[in-house]
Chains A and B, each alone.
Chain A
Amino acid sequence: DAKTTQPNSMESNEEEPVHLPCNHSTISGTDYIHWYRQLPSQGPEYVIHGLTSNVNNRMASLAIAEDRKSSTLILHRATLRDAAVYYCILRDREGGSEKLVFGKGTKLTVNP
C-alpha cells in the first residue's frame, strides 16, 4: 500500500497562512491525493483533492510537488474554526480495485 506521512501536530495564529505538509514517496502514477479534516466529535469533512496540478477551492489550495512525492495543503488565512485534524489520503488503485489509504493526520491548533 502507498503510505502518507504527516507531522503529528502544528500550530498557527489566527489570520495567518498555514502550510500542512504530507509526504507520499511511494505514490503511484494513478493515485489521487485527497485532504479531509475532522473536527472533534464529527465525521471527516472533504477539503480538496488533486492528481498532478495544483488545485484551489474556496476552502484551501493544494500544492503538489513535480515528482508527486509530497504535497502541501495551504489554508490562506487560518480561523479558529480551522482547528481540526487534517488527513492526507491517497486513493490507491490496485488490481482494478480502489481504496483510500489514510495517514495519521496532523492536529492543527489555531491560536487567537
Chain B
Amino acid sequence: KAGVTQTPRYLIKTRGQQVTLSCSPISGHRSVSWYQQTPGQGLQFLFEYFSETQRNKGNFPGRFSGRQFSNSRSEMNVSTLELGDSALYLCASSLAQAFGELFFGEGSRLTVL
C-alpha cells in the first residue's frame, strides 16, 4: 500500500511569491492534515480537511490556506511568502478521525529567500 506522497519535495521561492504544495493521502484515507516544522517553533498544526471541508484549524494567519478534492487529495497554499515561512511542511492522512493514527509524508521543504 503506497504511503502519503507530498510534492514537490524541495522548492525555493522569494519573498512575496506564493506557493502551492500537494499531498496524496493513503488510499481510503479521508482526513488530511497539514503541519509546519521549523527549528525554532517545532511542529505546529495548520489545518485538517475531511470530505472537502476544513474541519479543524490551527493558529496561522489567513495567508495559509488549503483545500481538499473529491479524491481526498489536498493542497495547501501560502501567499505573500515571508522569510519566516521557510520550513518543512508535512502532510498526514488518517482514515476518518481527525487525529486518529496519522500517517505522515516525508514533507515538502520550502526555502524563502
The digit string for B43-71, where 1 denotes a CB below 8 A from any CB of A, is 11100100000011110000000000000
The B-contacting residues of A in range 94-108, CB under 8 angstroms, are 97-105
Q: Are B104 and A98 in contact (CB under 8 A)?
A: no
How far is A91 from B98 in the complex, measured between Cα atoms in Å? 10
Q: Are B98 and A42 in contact (CB under 8 A)?
A: no
Q: Known: A43-B90, A44-B90, A91-B99. Contact between A99 and B104, CB under 8 A?
A: no
Q: Are B56 and A102 in contact (CB under 8 A)?
A: no
| Count: A-B pairs, CB below 8 Å | 49
The B-contacting residues of A in range 11-54, CB under 8 angstroms, are 32, 34, 36, 41-46, 49
The B-contacting residues of A in range 52-95, CB under 8 angstroms, are 87, 91
A105 partner residues in chain B, CB cutoff 8 A: 42-43
Can you identify 28 A-B contacts, CB atoms within 8 angstroms?
Answer: A32-B99, A42-B104, A43-B4, A43-B90, A43-B104, A43-B105, A43-B107, A44-B92, A45-B104, A46-B103, A49-B101, A87-B43, A97-B55, A98-B48, A98-B56, A98-B98, A98-B99, A99-B45, A99-B57, A100-B33, A100-B35, A100-B99, A101-B45, A102-B42, A102-B43, A102-B45, A104-B42, A105-B43
Q: Point out residues on A near B: beta carbons under 8 Å.
A: 32, 34, 36, 41-46, 49, 87, 91, 97-105
Q: Point out residues on B near A: beta carbons under 8 Å.
A: 4, 33, 35, 42-45, 48, 55-58, 90, 92, 98-99, 101-107
